[in-house]
Structure 1
């Protein structure tokens, strides 16, 4: 295997911990009880997908969510419930990225949306002193900004070509198998991060540990 020269990190589930059940519980507290509808592909396609791709604005997303829930909730109630799934960014993982960046160009590639982004960029600013993710990473990419989303191969190819990467020498780390498979179709090397693993288990002194299950 060729030596890894670049590393691309996912965000949710890799850098920051998330739990979508917390959003479901928050909506349940607001009075929505048809919980199984929030776990369907229909909900993702009708409400979330265009928001993650930056096609729908936060205002349009909130209105779609209200219509789907059939509840007249305020913007703040919706935002608080939508953000409930996000935990704080663990300091240890920020420090690991800072160390890794000394040895490799590091990139962030995340399916995300404006409401979530506003929350965790504020966390990054207040707790770690970075104004934006481009200051922590060599470059950070978010689906809502690119109008592209994982696992479609185009989003990986965009990053590869923009930075003239050799995909055979570029490692993509994600917690979702569908995103891993999309990255492989683009020719990237991959590591499927699964609990209880965290990125701490992948690096030592800022370098990839030997013997990792890279494919």
Structure 2
């Protein structure tokens, strides 16, 4: 089915798994290397709640470290903790930085990430040292991080906030994410969506600063 992309004025990118590659299993492997063995604890509601509180910015990094170390019964110093926590993150590929720059003459480009201040500090350090940007707002038209907004995808309030504060229309906005729950939430808000499957590369969706017209439109959905 041929799709007219001329209606798309805004693109909102997810970060982890879209702009930057991640491997959450690396954290598990590093915990194992440091003597942790009770991996079922990582699935318990109390631990998940600690993670969500941190991603929403309800607790700060120092409190997060203390809560996690206490819950897992692992006395780790700050540097060791952060090394383990950040081990899931890879460097931002230069091709994806160039992609964002090439898209900006044709679209308003935004970033929306469920993230936390420890990861954010590492993201920004990489962005500064390797690409010369002081912050993500210097690369994107605007960046949104859950720990700043106190909201996490797939909560529809995330999208409502962006629409209301930056005068975006859902029907003119494409949302690219690698998590089905986030895609479904965006669709319910009336946005165009692209579910980036594991192993796919976001740069392959574009050509010469524009969305490719030969995309597999079965992956792109409009709210019915």
TM-score (norm 1): 0.96
Contact 2:14 / 2:111 at 8 angstroms: preserved in 1?
yes
Deviation, 1:43, is 2.5
Match in the other structure for 2:121: 118
Deviation, 1:12, is 0.3
TM-score (norm 2): 0.92
Residues 1:70 and 2:68 are matched in the alignment: no
Cα distance change of structure 1 residues 41 and 179 upon mapping to structure 2, 3 Å threshold: farther
Structure 1 unmatched runs, 5+: none
Within a 5 Å distance, the mapping from 1:53-132 to structure 2 comes to 53-132=56-135
Deviation, 1:76, is 1.2
Name segments (4+ residues, structure 1) moved above 4 Å: 39-42
Q: How far apart, CA to CA, are the structure 1 residues paired with 2:214 and 2:168?
A: 23
Match in the other structure for 1:133: 136
Higher mean alpha-carbon deviation, 1-10 vs 57-66, is at 1-10
Contact 1:24 / 1:38 at 8 angstroms: preserved in 2?
no
Q: How far apart, CA to CA, are the structure 1 residues paired with 2:43 and 2:133?
A: 34
Contact 2:11 / 2:108 at 8 angstroms: preserved in 1?
yes
Q: How far apart, CA to CA, are the structure 2 residues paired with 1:85 and 1:36?
A: 19
Cα-Cα RMSD: 1.3
Residues 1:153 and 2:156 are matched in the alignment: yes
Q: How far apart, CA to CA, are the structure 2 residues paired with 1:177 and 1:24?
A: 23
Alignment equivalent of 2:12, drawn from 1, 8, 12: 8
Deviation, 1:42, is 4.4
Structure 2 unmatched runs, 5+: none
